[in-house]
Structure 1
Amino acid sequence: MNAVQQRGSLTQVELAGVTGLSPATVSNIVKELTGAGVLHTAPTSRSGRRAQQVTLARNLGLVAGVHFGTRSLRVALADVAHRIVAEQRMPLPPDHRADAGLDRAALLLTEMVESLEASMSEVLAVGVGVPAPVDVRTGQVSTLGMLRGWDGVAVPEVLEHRIGVPVHVDNDANLGALAEVRLGAARGHENVLYLRVSHGVGGGLVIGGRLYHGRSGTAGEIGHVTIDENGPICRCGNRGCLETFVGAPVLLGMLQASHGSLTLPDVIARAHDGDPGCRRVISDAGRHLGFAAANVCNLFDPDLVVVGGRLAQAGALLLEPLRTMLEQRTVPSTAGPVEVVASELGAAAEVRGALAVALDRVGIAASMVATG
């Protein structure tokens, strides 16, 4: 069940490889769970050979993923076989407070469920990502000043009261990392650094195939790694954090005098069209990211660095200077420099990670729902 949940679908032969069970044992288990209405099988082919594709049955219920960005809210609904059945995005005011944001999420989620002619009783779990460190043991936003209006808020407690469904919360960059490992650019890798570069800068660490949170949820906060001890004051209270050189407001502020008011997509589009000023701020951002990421790589030695968030849409304009800085500032290795790739899931990475967390928390409970 866990193998099928995590991968969405796979053949019986692949199931045998993943679980270490014999093909005959897998076949017997699949038959039993299909008969109980827990699994669904369909004929397919692999390398020209007939095979049985195994997924979770569609009647087991729904899970929801919620991603609070700095200025937007994204909600997705999926069945327990990872199929997204509804998705919506809405803007949020800057510095929105937790109570207002969670009210909007609860209302939007309820409307989406009803649009599917379902009820909230069919939603088994909700995963939530927020752009701040989270103590996953308590569900509380664990730092002060990083997400104004959310300090110390126990997100699961507040949202569960509104919707009556189990809620599990994590930092959004952690969820992006999880999604890229499970479903995206980092599949097949167990040690991954994920960088999320949008309005702010976040990071997620996957070690041995599992998210690493640290003592209170601040592990991976690369946006608050100091790259200039005399640099600008950051919202976290320190000086010269990476985010004060790479966050979207900083990049847009650099171009205000020469280009007027732009959005980050504007800057990326103009850079692709050859605008030298826009290309320069993106290139500088790549170098700053590489400087900070090199420190993390020297401590952590990941298999792969995945870059996501809106700025990743700049592609090679951002990634090439990042790669160059990593090569210059990481310890030389016989394995060569760490590989750097763009996110495969793009803007959907964090909400897909939130769905994955919800599915993980459902676990074998899905089979209990199906069998009564």
Structure 2
Amino acid sequence: MYLGLEVSEQALRGAYFQQKEVVLTPPVAVPASYEELLEALAQQVQEASRVGEAIRRVGVSIPGNCTERRVVWVPSLPYLNGRDLADDLRTRLGITVMLASDAQLALLGEVWRGTARDRQSAALVSVGTGINGALMLGGRIVHGAHGSAGALGWLVLDRQQAPDAEHGYLDLYASASALASQGRLLDPPLSPEEIIGRAREGQATCAKLVNECAAVLGIAVAGLASVFDPEVLIFGGVLTGAFDLFAPVLREGLLRYGSPSVRQTPLVASQLGADAPLYGALRAAMLLQSMWV
């Protein structure tokens, strides 16, 4: 049996097969230390083993930069940085473990059971606390030399902007965190969810904030499409539910800034939504390395 695990900023979750159906486990809080995280992940493996066959391989989704063995950089969970998580879990559990970024696994999930099925090339833009992304070329997910292929948040659109060592340009101007920063300046302050809700109701100030984020992201999406020419562009991450607000501005950006051949590239919402990285982690465990390049 195979197991997918997702480590996010707030929760741990698992996914496995039971009678040919994918079962998603309830979320549990992310532990405060590395040793506690290892124990929590091991417990997920043990619990999954109790309802079926012994676990053979595990895929783990990481909310940051990682190789297949080692976590490189996770801003939200710094105790993971530099840790050999795959080998530490393998030593503890005696099974094969592979790591990948949440965006790369989200795209793999969409290829398997979502909106990228039957595609040979696709690009996913993941909008959450930061901006991330993933690429599929020739039917394989691009992992990159250091595991960070598709890190769209670091695309710089203004050379006058002073660099930030911890956050990319798009992270600062087109993410849920960017909306949160703007929302704190309102009277009364509003969360990103509240901004989106009021924008959907037609509240002018909130609609403007959403449109400004989408406009910046639209330029980046046009550049991404122009460079890689994917069959489809997928909008994912925690703001998938706001696709109806982002889509018109993103399409305008694609038409205005994209190369002639990509201006009509289909732009669609993630079919799996927030569950995409978890489905991808399970699929990675099933395939091991056959979907990666």
| Same fold at TM > 0.5 | yes
CA distance in 1, matches of 2:116, 2:232: 7
Residue 106 (structure 1) aligned with residue 45 (structure 2): no
| Deviation digits for residues 280-327 of structure 1 (CA, Å, limit 9, x no counterpart) | 222222111111122222211111100111112112211111111111
1:112 CA drift (Å) = 4.7
CA distance in 2, matches of 1:263, 1:72: 20
CA distance in 2, matches of 1:67, 1:232: 33
The 5-angstrom pairing of residues 1-372 of structure 1 reads 62-79=1-18, 81=20, 83-92=21-30, 96-114=32-50, 116=51, 118=52, 122-136=54-68, 139-143=69-73, 148-231=78-161, 233-236=163-166, 241-333=169-261, 336-361=263-288
CA distance in 1, matches of 2:71, 2:19: 28
CA distance in 2, matches of 1:158, 1:165: 11
CA distance in 1, matches of 2:289, 2:232: 29
Give the structure-1-normalised TM-score: 0.71
Root-mean-square deviation (CA), in Å? Answer: 2.5
| Deviation digits for residues 88-123 of structure 1 (CA, Å, limit 9, x no counterpart) | 212337xx5544333322224434544x3x5xx611
1:218 CA drift (Å) = 1.8
1:147 CA drift (Å) = 5.2
* Structure 1 unaligned residues grouped into runs of 5+: 1-61, 364-372
| Deviation digits for residues 214-272 of structure 1 (CA, Å, limit 9, x no counterpart) | 221121100111122333653536xx611111222221110113254544333333322
Larger C-alpha radius of gyration, 1 or 2? Answer: 1
| Structure of higher RCO (CA pairs closer than 8 Å, 6+ residues apart) | 2
AA at the equivalent of 2:224: V
Change over 3 Å in CA distance of 1:122–1:303 after alignment to 2: same
CA distance in 2, matches of 1:332, 1:359: 39
* Structure 2 unaligned residues grouped into runs of 5+: none
Give the structure-2-normalised TM-score: 0.89
Change over 3 Å in CA distance of 1:163–1:277 after alignment to 2: farther
AA at the equivalent of 1:102: L
1:73 CA drift (Å) = 2.0
Counterpart secondary structure, 1:257: coil
